[in-house]
Structure 1
Amino acid sequence: MVNFQDGCGKWERENVDKGFYEYQSYFLAAAVIAEFKDCSQADEIATQIVKWGFGYPPEKQKWVKFIKPIEDTAQLALQQTERTKAIAALVQLLQFPNLDNDTRHQAAESLGTIGTGNEKAIAALVQLLNHVYVYTRHQAAKSLRTIGTGNEFAIAALVAALQSTTEDDFIRRVAAESLGTIGTGNEFAIAPLVAVLQSTTVDDFTRRLAAESLKTIHPAALVELPQSTDVSDKRWAAAKIPGRMETFKKVYPRIMETVSSAALDQQLRMMAAGWLETSDPTALVALLQSTDNKYRLWAVVEKLGTIGTGDEFVIAALVELLQSTTVDDFTRRLAAESLVKIGTGNEFAIAALVELLQSTTVDDKTHSQAAESLGKIVQDNKDRSLVVKGLKDYLQFDNNYNLIWKCSQNMAYPDFYQAWHQGKNDEEVGVNQPNLLQCLQAAIDNDAQLSQSIHLICIDTNKFIDPDNPASKIYTKIVKAGCPKCEDGTPKTMADFQSYWELLDTDKCVVLVFHSGSTNTTGGVTYSDVFLNAISKFEGAICFISDSVLTYNTLKVFAPSQSIDEILEWLRKGR
């Protein structure tokens, strides 16, 4: 799994170092070591997953982060791999002196996901409570709330943050709230919370959180407090609103500025669309092609996106707009948005958006909108194949890489491989013989029925010492693949092997695939006529991968460039 090569691209970028399915295979390996904790590669695999998920420090350079879909998937893989190995790798990551704050924050969040009860994870988070960056301290406190239940070390650290006279109110509130989750019955947690309630210098919001935590971990403490401290439920209910309103007021102007701008733009566009007197697609398309008023143009594009679902005429008009050299990027973005609403699964819309993503002249916003639209309108493997084929040579744009990554997550490897190599001649694709066999095995594994009924055994004919009589070699290969041994010993002749083959009793149908091996690059293979004559008399699922047309018509032959679907169809019929 860790050494799998998918044959789809060469990667030498700082932020991409493997093929799409090579990552998938590695992430599967990470999940596997959760079941095989003593695997000799477990530490290496966990460290590699952390590198992809959080970046790495090259010499004398800034911290390097991998492209977002790799990063996100690697962080998810950490939740599935061997927990102690992952925690150790994350703790080691946090020791790097030049680690940026965002990465440190992400690592603390991951420890809060996988580190429940782990002393190393708790110790690392406690250390982060002293970090200079407030949001790092905040995340450390939140993660301790998740993984530190009953842990004296975690409780003591949160108590220290709560009692600090120099700590930010933001952190004290998280500490008060966290103690209510992990400090049940702990006297060391109860006393500081009571002290907060009795304090005259702590803000109301922090006191309310302290009261709620006490109510959770030691309700009697609230009853025991003197009335003069004014900790009645009414006070905390009243404090709840002003406390939160003050927090909201700090960010309100910035939020309203952003929301108002976006909302106003959308409102004006929709109002403009409403001014149009017609909803006739033909009339609107004519107006689209004749107006020189950009606001009216935008209104037409908006309206076409609401009335033209599945209408080839409308879709064609919007596609033409995407391809126009006389409109601005904003108009292209509107056309891309409208195609999302009306062009799902439409090949022309997909092709136009792919073409837009190939462009080096449009701005980043237009690239992003085209990618977003394309991601929404693809429906099946036919659509995804168009995306892969069209964008595989334009991966300098992150949007394009992200789209192909999404396709790879939803396509069987053989389908993706064929889409990637579509357009190459058969000889060029077929030279890499092992790829066909890898594709075939992957397709079987991904098929719910075939994976339960087919046992594929690939036999390299280049390794036959006796080409006329390879009976013992074939038999050995089959037994090593898990089939039962022959009671009469190793077959010496093809006739003996035929008897063994016909009596072979297994849970799955054994399929023999004879191929020329990875060392053959000539495209043609010569088989012994004696061997072919003998094997042609065998019953069962047997085939050859060969460019040559074999003279024995009873033999099933597939070319190295053969469609995987055709081979699968043959397997289904022969089950």
Structure 2
Amino acid sequence: MARVSLGPEAKKRTCRLFEALLAYANDALDCDELALDALQPNIQIRWLSETRLVIRTKVRFLQALTGLQQGEKPLNSEQIKESLRRLADFVEILEDNRSTRGGSENWHFTLNLWHHRHDTEANLQRFDLEWERRRSGKVLEVSSAVEEKNPWKDICKGMLHNQLRLTTNPLTSVDGMNFELDAVYVPLGLVERKQRDRRREDILPTQGSRLYESEETEIMHFTLDSFLKQLASNNSQELHRIAVVGEPGAGKTTLLQKVACWILENSEDLPIWVTLADLQAKCLEDYLIQDWLRAAIRKRHVPVEIEEEFCEQFYQGRVWLLLDAVDEMAMESSYALSKIASFLTGWVGTANVILTCRLNVWDAGKNALSTFQTYRNLNFTYKSNQSPNLVGQFIQRWFQDNPILAERLQTELEQPGRQRIKDAVKNPLRLALMCRTWALNQGEFPSTKATLYKQFVEAIYEWKQDRFFTTSTQRQQLNQALGELALQAISTADTKFRLSHSFVCKLLGAPDEGLFQLALLLGWLNQVGISETQGEKVYAFYHPTFQEYFAALAINDWQFFFNTVSPVSYRIFEPQWREVILLWLGREDISGQSKDEFIKALIKFDDGVGKYYSYQAYFLAAAGVAEFPSTLSSEIINSLIKWRFGYPVAQNKWCRFPAPVQEGARVALLKTDRKCAITLLSEFIQNCPNEFETWSAAYSLGRTFDLGNTIAIAALEKLVRLIRQEPLRLQSADSLGKVDPGNKTAINALTEIIESSKKDSVRRKGAYLLAKIDPGNQTAFSTFEAFATSENLEIRRHVAENMRALVAENSSILFHINSIPVLANLVNLDLTKSKKQLVKSSKSRKPRKPVDITRLVAALENGINLGNDEDIKIHKASKLILLDPDNKIAFDTLIELVKHGKSDDIRKHAVESFKKVLRDEQIPKLIAAIKDCFCNQDVKTLHVTSLHMEQYRHCYKLIWYCAEKMNYIDFYKIWLATDTTDVTDDL
């Protein structure tokens, strides 16, 4: 066996590799960025904690990594392998995780650092000391500058090691999933609360997380790092008194755990963790001595001298008491804060304190800890201009061993109809529950939203089972009571998602006993403020989606969603009931026959007022079949496709529905049963004789419903080859490139257009589209280069805008732009204003003279009466209505032009102008004026299958606009206002 070399050269090589790995993993490697980017996919890292690093790679990539170190030649493969072995068998900081080791180029190992990951100097010093000690056989003497031995610190570290764990692990462990805290932790921001939050009254269900947000503007926002630095930089003699408050599952405990680890790793202070539920009837002082200290030193009886030494650590100001979950103490929550205040006296009171508490307990009444600095965790965020994608980061960490599942989950969340779920899972616990469900179902959500929320509810009961035990009977009773509470709240106009204390008491009883207390303990209800008018507490459900779910559980008969007698109402048209309806349709305990009856009632609903509400009922049915696979699904989706894309009525004759119906059908298709929609859209594309609608449907199918669908791609390829008109061919090639990036047919078509077209605008646009789908295409950039030298400022401006848009979409294109100097210079020029614009903007404006309103009204009326130009009449009438809203001449003029304008453009212009000036109180008058366009028409023919509807389709748009602003009952009454029959009886 060859002798192992432990000399200076072996030490130097091993240290080089160790230093390179640290710098790479800390993103601190000073080297060529392009070379580093090329390596990153091949050297995979994962920090398990601040001192444990997992690496997967091959020897050749480690060679390349050492070659990136400035002024150094790369180590060869044998030197790399030797250095890895020395880190494992000599310095003993490398754990070899490979299943087979002999001769393999693949390496999978864990590095266990001596110090924090970012303290590179201390880790390298320790490496040097360890190498020399082991080589000489001497006992290591570590200087105090590197490490100072502290027995109490070791004791606290040992206790924390046993106490700190991911709070969701008890729930996920039954599924075989356990996570290290640092492996999935994503830092949340914090906000300092200057005063009690005033809760918003205007929260929508899709914005339910805002119920727990503060409305103040002058509050401090912190990242976790800045919060911890603030703790460290506070040199005042005053003790820290800090509270972290929030809704259940907001990450309060996890934040406290991160603070504990930070104190342990970055100071000589002593973090002591106390789960307040463990106190039972003891005071904090007795618990610390009798329970915590005895467990920490692992002795049955604690010697008096150790007790005294322990108390001395408090007197010296070295202790941080980390008190978790005030709300879980074994006492009435209203007394818990007072109890904590009484604990913080004597030697215990000399410690720094950080505690966590639910909002409903912290804001419940007079707060004995009001002097505490109070912070609240912010929610996870999605990607925006102001926010990083923290939801995505958490999902990626949860599924770090299965990135495909992570990607599929993120894609699923972006699908239409997921807004409520997206908002709900901004909360860390609910996001973890969703990831758990996704993992258990192997990349599939349950078939209905109701089943998903049922799993969430069951998981939350299980999560709290060790603290607040509930039997199946208690859960059933509580669910039933919460359902009735939710149902009545949504039915009450003034309540909905903010529930007064007295309102909750009527249904759940007194707050200190029974179901009300259980709902508070489990977090189903949380206090979110104090009513400014009544002065009583205000509660909200854990999230509005859970309120809607519980409400759906309380409804047994689908007739509930239709006509109610007092007050007269159709819940199918009221937005607050839409999600409840969909959740009801997804319930497993409702018979399919009953659901089918409901779906049939929706699609057969005849509103008697122009079919606007009939269409809305139909669109609701379409969303419903996504939750329940009805026998009517195919019929419904085929109708949506017909309304969206039109249908043939004769040879070379294609009929389309009015624009509002088309748009409503487009949105409904996005929300209906996706699999069925894909199948029926595919059939439509293959049989459609209309090129434009084939193109539209194929693009929708391949871009939105089923990415990369082969039928959609084939249809678009055929169209690109057949269409000869340059503008249409450009658009169809662009659609094909979006559906199938890099498609050769699209690239060839765009190249052909650029080379053959005689229009500069077409060639420039073609180059832009070609560069989008084929970055770096030489034809595209040669075309840009030619236009960049044009004397036409407008063309150069368009090219510069194209370049910037390309870079914003794909940063790699910057490389191609920079390789062509004229393009690089053009992109950096400010071409936003022409000389003509600059001259125009430099002219001084004359001050306006006071206007005589009476004379102006008279002039406008005269202009309308004498004028012949219908466009000018629309302009004058619109201006006149703004000056004099009740002016009959203006109103009648717009009505006449909406109904009988000489051209389609005029009628369209009149409708759009009417929308801008119409007041709500004028709607009845407007409906009365234009409803005669539809009264004598069969409501089933309200589309452009006749000259009559072609003439009045813009009237239909205006009717639709009015209906959107009114509830069904009020609209119905206005429509039939001239009838003698009592409207309520008809309903």
Question: What TM-score do the two structures reach when normalised by structure 2?
Answer: 0.30
Pick the structure with more strand per residue.
2
Q: Which has the larger radius of gyration?
A: 2
